[in-house]
Chain A
Amino acid sequence: MIHAGILAIDIGDATFGAPDFFFAIIAIVSVVAALKMVATNNVVHSALYLLVVLSAVAGLYIMLGAEFVAATQVLVYIGAIMVLLLFGVMLTRTRIGEETDLNHDQRWIGGLISTAMFAVMGYALWDQFGSEALPAERVIKPNRSPTQYSATTSCHSRPSRYSCWLP
């Protein structure tokens, strides 16, 4: 496991450690590849840019301590779904190479809507999870019984005037 101590750079009161460095690389790669995916004029290039995004997301899962999900991402998305999409490109006889007519004319409406969505989501996230830190150790709490996941157990700790969904 990578500890934040190595490669740590102090910027004011915030610490920019090695995990943040790797996260920055993954974030830049995935966002640039996603933007090129929705902007390129070549269908096969778009599929390959999607491949880059999916690989970067698999790296993100490893950073979050979810190695099994990362392995499944590589197997299912990169192994199966990409092949399926490239078969779709092939079977619909899409032109291999540059195309001029892949986007709608009213592209700016899509840009406006997605920018507004990002503004609203970004404000909500900043407002709600401003400086919540992830736990330093990626461990799963071991002492959880299955009943703690059910909807009924949390009801019993509430005052009785709140009704439970389940008896």
Chain B
Amino acid sequence: MLLNQFLFLAALLFCIGVYGVLTRKNAVLVLMSIELILNAVNINLVAFGAYNSDVAGQVFALFLIAVAAAEVGVGLAIVLLMYRNRQSINVADADALRG
């Protein structure tokens, strides 16, 4: 197997995730797209770990999984507070800091 096939699949998933972040209005869907992006990064880490026969890539991947879990927890808490205050989770409505 080539290294490149994993890297290309990861790049494709990353770009699909970026498309989701850029086009979705619903904040929960934006969080799901961010999960997709983080998974694409994880594929890269594990693939390079296998390429170098090194366990460091898998260790980084495990750290990234933990960070992603914390991120989605904090993100959903923010989304729920936004819903409670504005009755809407449209990301375009969160413009209180606009000058």
Q: Which of A50-97 contact B (CB under 8 A)?
A: 50, 53-54, 57, 60-61, 63-66, 68-69, 72-73, 76-77, 80-81, 84-85, 87-89, 91-94
Q: Judging by beta carbons under 8 Å apart, are A57 and B42 in contact?
A: yes
What separation, in Å, do the CA atoms of A50 and B43 have in the docked complex? 15
Q: Does A104 contact B (CB under 8 A)?
A: yes
Find out whether the CB atom of A131 lies under 8 angstroms from the CB atom of B26. no
Interface size on A, residues (CB 8 A): 70
* A-contact 0/1 string along B33-57, CB 8 Å cutoff: 1011001001100110111011111
- Residues of the B chain whose Cβ atoms lie less than 8 Å from the Cβ of A38: 16-17, 19-20, 23-24, 33
**Which A-chain residue is minimally distant from B31 (CB atoms)?**
A85
Tell me, yes or no, whether A109 is within 8 Å of chain B by CB. yes
* Assembly CA distance A91 to B66 (angstroms): 24
Q: Please give the residue numbers on chain A whose beta carbons come within 8 Å of chain B beta carbons, in ascending order.
A: 19-20, 23, 27, 30-31, 34-35, 37-38, 43, 46-47, 50, 53-54, 57, 60-61, 63-66, 68-69, 72-73, 76-77, 80-81, 84-85, 87-89, 91-94, 101-104, 107, 109-111, 113-115, 117-118, 121-122, 125-126, 129-135, 138-141, 144, 149
User: Which residues of B come within 8 Å of A, CB atoms?
Assistant: 1-9, 11-20, 22-29, 31-33, 35-36, 39, 42-43, 46-47, 49-51, 53-58, 61-62, 65-66, 68-69, 72-73, 76, 79-80, 83, 89, 92
